Structure 1
């Protein structure tokens, strides 16, 4: 993907020194911006190919302020519209139109947004319950989807490819957690009975899909949720039902996304689902538990084939959220485990180190995964960061709030009472804030355990921002020019150049430690 998420090391170092110096003409650094065309863009098969994706400055500033965060602070990630108020924004976070305007100012031509406010939202997880009750479909349509559509349809944004993720966890919950299934909940049963998940998804697809530069991707859970035949085939049928309701058609669907806000490994490099140990298939191990898939890439590719067979267009593409599924660090296995038993073989070799694949909240030991990449594998439109690293999955203890978010014991590191994860420990980090709020400890853990590792300028795993240049002096002043010089810090060896700004406008560049600014 041609985005600011693939910045070269030297430019990363320059970004870290952005507030370096100021005296008359200010020495600073910035990402070069390519103006976006005001003309409408032609619809493409894969919106990620050749795209420059928007970097959310709100998230970027938080990431850059963390140890090691400067190395990834310019990575594009999705913006979440998780409540009606998020559309207009607040003093703490910009609204949808402000994000889009900033995208244009950045020179981006790809904007990514999560549509996430269904009635009775996320019925099987209390931490991410939303503001709308299970019967408030009318409010969802008129107060949430319609205002979003009005903004996205503004001709000012016609040059942007706008990628949406439609309602994470909604339809998968209907498949596995409603009405007679092992993980059933009363809330999910209600949503299955009234059909508002399907109606809401259909309305969102139809309304947003009518905008020529919008690309809708439906959330499709992950392999540890739907990877069994008993779940996967019904899920495909459920997706088709929702995608053809409330006026929507399969033409409103650009593709699907897996692993949204989850931790399932992109690839398990040390064993395959077809492996056997002493005559016992790895599918019989406690970790795999008869699943047909052991990682997200194989699951996504197989699900795509199934969805096409169900009537979705043959050119649909899959997205995989890789923001938190790297599982690197010193504990990452490099080979399969011993062949003394199938469990030892799998547990010793799996890179996904969760206690159970059903654990989803602020997972201990997790790491940032693959950086956003366009068309990395057959059938995959992109690896993306749907869940921005550092944003909490949920609070580890009850927190009073006005966001409609409850307390889910799966975010409590001491809880062992959930049958859906075998009554195992949750693996959640302690002291976590409300879902969507900044969680510094989680961010730092994700950076430490990133795979591929987050490297600094040149070699090694330096993720510390360089110190700013010092000693700015001016000399040879005239009425129309000034000569500047400065001292580069010793840890700034990867800096390949400095951009010079006057009154916020770039006026030149220097590859040395001096510059003469003319035309004052």
Structure 2
């Protein structure tokens, strides 16, 4: 996990090589297509056994490049490129070439692109590359330096932002903020007092939410109340950053107010004001956890051409790059506030748990973490299962079991997924994120606000061993019709109460989605909030490719997303596990 006051670059006993090379030069009469000036920032992190990850930031200091770019450099020793991202990587001997891809071949003046790779063959004492060329032009200047750390030394590099007063885990030793607006609604419902004292996140789901909307206070008012609740003790407040252009491209119910191209409005009218409020000295004692843009980046992996789950809206957002740009900008601006802790959304195991989704998602998140002036140091961790229903663990069957010779993975419910719950998924994703280039200290959050699945329908043991489907279906705690169902699920229950450091690698179980707030309207409801009618919230809907053409499993008579839904709250309390 994390070390107090600083960011750990590698596990104890692992050789670490970290450099930042800043190089700039302008050459006269460069060859056609060359970059007359360039800078390269190269940072490598070794994680033992010869394996390492390298992030490479290219900045064009000359004329704009529009016909593609090629970066070349030599790796010392026996280092080899194993897997790269955001470029086409090749290696001949020591010489490495990274060529632009179809979507990032243009590089304007002063523009940067973040690429990287995972490698093998790193040895103690290896230095980093010292010469880089971009389109044949040498990026010269002060050569990079390297730092080698062995045994139990912890190393940080000069290009990391000052960690300020951040702690290892913002939930340990701290109170958590109870949202008075949500608590008042819960208290007004029969039995709601049993949960009204629980901490829930504050959602900034549109620009107007920053200053407050009818029935909901604004961000500064929440922070003022958090200071009051802290009463001089450490307190963690959770804020959901959720307003990307073209938001939630695969679900109409939570579409946002900003059009796909309105990235400038996102920056200046949404992120900048939020960052300015968080940075006020009055709030410097708070631990501010930001949950950054749920339901965004994973869509660029699973819901784009040529996937059968493709939507035209997600194709647009992949093509224009505004999800990556926006997330990077948010991480950079919010990460500059020394008492914030950014956690990026990673969907849930029923979304990204398959091999063709899992690794590519980690790579894409790393790209976003290094976009728009951000660096991976702005990422404190990741959050799983936000506003979803995935069970923490399934105790009645194992992913490694077979029934009558048929693997559990082959069952209709599991469908070759490698994970059957959010806890093993989150712990595995953490390791894969480190492999992609994130620091070894990142932590995980899991939203347990609606994944209890208790009540009379909760199985007490395994299903019959007559077939693999009977075995899994009879014993699974998650009683959804399909893992792809996400809207106002019938039979769901409140899960584990918010808890700090509940499992290895997990910073906390949290309630990011406040119980009792709708996922979306079950029928068309005109509104000025940019929220459409999604058939996945209609209990009569027979499904689509994203839920295996199954019934939606949704509750009826539901209001717009984010609006108060008393019937859902009663359902969640009735089926809570542990029971209320």
Q: TM-score, normalised by structure 1?
A: 0.79
Q: Distance in 1 between matches of 2:468 and 2:418?
A: 16
Q: Assess if the C-alpha contact under 8 Å between 2:543 and 2:552 holds in 1.
A: no
CA deviations on 1:480-509 (whole Å, 9 max, x unpaired) are: xxxxxxxxxxxxxxxxxxxxxxxxxxxxxx
Matched residue, 2:355: 229
Indicate the SS of the match to 2:433: helix
Q: Distance in 1 between matches of 2:246 and 2:307?
A: 19
Q: Distance in 2 between matches of 1:143 and 1:180?
A: 34
Indicate the SS of the match to 1:126: coil
Matched residue, 1:45: 168
| Poorly superposed stretches of 4+, deviation over 4 Å | none
- Is 1:430 the counterpart of 2:556? The answer is yes
Matched residue, 1:304: 430
Equivalent in 500, 518, 524 of residue 374 of structure 1:
500
Matched residue, 1:111: 237
How much does 1:41 deviate?
8.0
CA deviations on 1:332-380 (whole Å, 9 max, x unpaired) are: 0111100000000000000000000000000000000000000000000
Matched residue, 1:138: 264
Q: Distance in 2 between matches of 1:215 and 1:316?
A: 11
Q: Distance in 2 between matches of 1:79 and 1:92?
A: 13
Q: Distance in 2 between matches of 1:41 and 1:445?
A: 43
Indicate the SS of the match to 1:204: helix
Matches within 5 A, 1:187-198: 187-198=313-324
How much does 1:91 deviate?
3.5
Equivalent in 360, 376, 385 of residue 511 of structure 2:
385
Q: Assess if the C-alpha contact under 8 Å between 1:48 and 1:374 holds in 2.
A: yes
- Is 1:94 the counterpart of 2:217? The answer is yes
Equivalent in 365, 371, 384 of residue 258 of structure 1:
384
Indicate the SS of the match to 2:319: helix
Q: Assess if the C-alpha contact under 8 Å between 1:41 and 1:160 holds in 2.
A: no
Matched residue, 1:173: 299
Q: Assess if the C-alpha contact under 8 Å between 1:41 and 1:158 holds in 2.
A: no
Q: Distance in 1 between matches of 2:214 and 2:524?
A: 25
Q: Distance in 1 between matches of 2:323 and 2:307?
A: 18
Q: Between Structure 1 and Structure 2, which shows a larger proportion of helix residues?
A: 1
Indicate the SS of the match to 1:301: helix
Matched residue, 2:546: 420
How much does 1:60 deviate?
0.3
Q: Assess if the C-alpha contact under 8 Å between 1:169 and 1:221 holds in 2.
A: yes
Equivalent in 425, 428, 442 of residue 568 of structure 2:
442
For the aligned residues, what is the CA RMSD?
A: 1.0
How much does 1:42 deviate?
2.4
CA deviations on 1:275-296 (whole Å, 9 max, x unpaired) are: 1101111000000000000000
Q: Distance in 2 between matches of 1:128 and 1:221?
A: 15
Equivalent in 459, 466, 477 of residue 333 of structure 1:
459
Q: Distance in 1 between matches of 2:164 and 2:501?
A: 20
Structure with bigger RCO (C-alpha 8 Å, 6+ apart): 1
Q: Distance in 2 between matches of 1:109 and 1:70?
A: 22
Q: Distance in 2 between matches of 1:218 and 1:379?
A: 15
- Is 1:289 the counterpart of 2:412? The answer is no
Matched residue, 1:200: 326
Indicate the SS of the match to 2:446: strand
Indicate the SS of the match to 1:319: strand
Matches within 5 A, 1:10-21: none
- Is 1:217 the counterpart of 2:343? The answer is yes
Equivalent in 478, 483, 487 of residue 361 of structure 1:
487
Equivalent in 169, 176, 184 of residue 61 of structure 1:
184
Matched residue, 2:205: 82
The runs of 5 or more residues in structure 2 that have no matched partner are: 1-162
Indicate the SS of the match to 1:198: helix
Q: TM-score, normalised by structure 2?
A: 0.71
CA deviations on 1:405-438 (whole Å, 9 max, x unpaired) are: 0000000000004122111110000000000000
The runs of 5 or more residues in structure 1 that have no matched partner are: 1-39, 455-520
299-308 or 179-188: bigger deviation = 179-188
Matches within 5 A, 1:146-157: 146-157=272-283
Matched residues, number: 415
Q: Distance in 1 between matches of 2:360 and 2:164?
A: 36
Q: Assess if the C-alpha contact under 8 Å between 1:41 and 1:159 holds in 2.
A: no
